[in-house]
Structure 1
Amino acid sequence: MASASTNVTSASPQAPNPTGLAERYALALLGIVDDLRQTEPGAADRIAADLEALFRLWREDAGFRAFVEDPRLAASEQRRGAFAIIERAGIGPEVRNLVGVMIVNRRLGRLPEVAAAFGAQLASRRGQQTAKVATAHPLSDTQRAQIVARLTEAGFSGVQLQETVDPTLLGGLVVRIGSRLYDNSIKSKLQRLQYAMKGAA
């Protein structure tokens, strides 16, 4: 979140839509950023990077995703497992405490929404625009840079990517930014071909 190409990625096939609940958690984390700003000017970048690191784990580790989403686990089990992973990843106390509060409130499964809300709030504060990018496979750093460059060429400034992996797209990508939708997925191309063939029949 510290740079234009920083992203928060959800492992869910659908992009998380921040709810009022997610916004409240995100604003609470931003309140901590504000409190730290005088003594640590780079607190926002550090905390954003910690949140991104947690979601990289979420995206890449199916076991971790299943653990977080399992409603049958007791809060003590969730806390012990989540904190062990957070400690190994070197994630700081602010995100660790956020996860702890969400576990106590039985809201850990809403973590993708909270991350999306935090990213959107931070981008808004910095005058950035959030582009929601859905792809069939995780993006590489080169692809992220290319997307940001293309959106900048199209007139968007300070672009912040919010990524989602959606295997049903098959390939290509779908980008939403502001009121604009750019759909270059193989799924949509196949649907358009199917409609065209029906029309020609």
Structure 2
Amino acid sequence: MPLLNTLATPYADALLQVGESRKQSDALADEAKALLSAWSSSQDLQDAMRSPVLSVEGKKKALDSLFSESISPAMLNLLKLLADRQRIGMLDAVLERFLELYRELRGITLAYVTSATALSEQQQDKLTEKVKTVAGTTAVDIDLSVDPDLIGGFVVRLGSQVIDASLRGQVRQLGLSLARA
């Protein structure tokens, strides 16, 4: 991933600079999250953009028709630039790097939360407040995922810190305690 990060950083940094100069960074971050979601959920889109059969102009037209109504000109220009430079296949890396730089600039902590079931809005709000307290920050960006193997509860990852409040984790701890006894 370091090579991909090295390739993605200049594009991500340029997008952040454009966003800051136009005071659109927050909107661009929201667009980046939505685009990442669309990109990761559509294998057809990824395949088309990575296809050597589709010309650069064809890719740019496809991007224009797919996204011109839903994203800002700055984000659309990034997509077209990546297509021009034969780098559209690394769109996810560029957007993830952009979000890293954006969070760093804004002092936002990223927390990965995995729960056994989908969390309600109220549960997400409570969890966000708890994570802010644990992280010692006023801004937290939460990446939610569901893993039924947890049986119940959730696991929070803040950098290298892991808070395992899952039933699976408690059963594992109990097993370790019994093994020591």
TM, length-normalised to structure 1: 0.66
Structure 1: how far apart are the matches of 2:149 and 2:126?
Answer: 19
Between structure 1 and structure 2, the one with the greater Rg is: 2
The one-letter code of the counterpart of 1:154 is V
8 Å CA contact 2:39, 2:45 repeated in 1:
no
Question: What is residue 139 of structure 2 aligned with on the other side?
Answer: 159
Structure 2: how far apart are the matches of 1:162 and 1:148?
Answer: 7
Higher relative contact order (CA 8 A, sep 6+): 1
- Give the secondary-structure state (helix, strand or coil) at the position aligned to 1:161: strand
The structure that is helix-richer by fraction is 2
Aligned CA-pair RMSD: 3.6
Equivalent residues in 2 for 1:172-191, closer than 5 Å: 172-184=153-165, 189=169
Deviation at 1:91, TM superposition (A): 0.7
The one-letter code of the counterpart of 1:31 is Q
Task: Give the unaligned 5+ runs of structure 2.
Answer: none
The one-letter code of the counterpart of 2:38 is L
Deviation at 1:81, TM superposition (A): 2.6
Q: 1:121 to 1:68 in 2, by over 3 A?
A: same
8 Å CA contact 1:26, 1:117 repeated in 2:
yes
Q: Does 1:46 align with 2:46?
A: no
Q: Does 1:82 align with 2:29?
A: no
8 Å CA contact 1:26, 1:118 repeated in 2:
yes
Deviation at 1:161, TM superposition (A): 1.9
Deviation at 1:87, TM superposition (A): 2.3
1:172-197 C-alpha deviation (Å, 9 max, x unpaired) = 544221331123456x549828965x
- Give the secondary-structure state (helix, strand or coil) at the position aligned to 1:154: helix
Deviation at 1:131, TM superposition (A): 1.8
- Give the secondary-structure state (helix, strand or coil) at the position aligned to 1:157: coil
1:97-126 C-alpha deviation (Å, 9 max, x unpaired) = 111122223333322322222222122222
Question: What is residue 68 of structure 1 aligned with on the other side?
Answer: 46
Task: Give the unaligned 5+ runs of structure 1.
Answer: 1-15
Equivalent residues in 2 for 1:127-146, closer than 5 Å: 127-134=107-114, 141-146=121-126
TM, length-normalised to structure 2: 0.71
Structure 2: how far apart are the matches of 1:163 and 1:130?
Answer: 7
The one-letter code of the counterpart of 2:59 is Q
- Give the secondary-structure state (helix, strand or coil) at the position aligned to 2:81: helix
Question: What is residue 6 of structure 2 aligned with on the other side?
Answer: 20
Q: How many pairs are equivalent?
A: 175
The one-letter code of the counterpart of 1:51 is A
1:13-58 C-alpha deviation (Å, 9 max, x unpaired) = xxx987222222211111112332xxxx4x1122222223323434
The one-letter code of the counterpart of 1:119 is L
Q: 1:153 to 1:20 in 2, by over 3 A?
A: same
Question: What is residue 83 of structure 2 aligned with on the other side?
Answer: 103
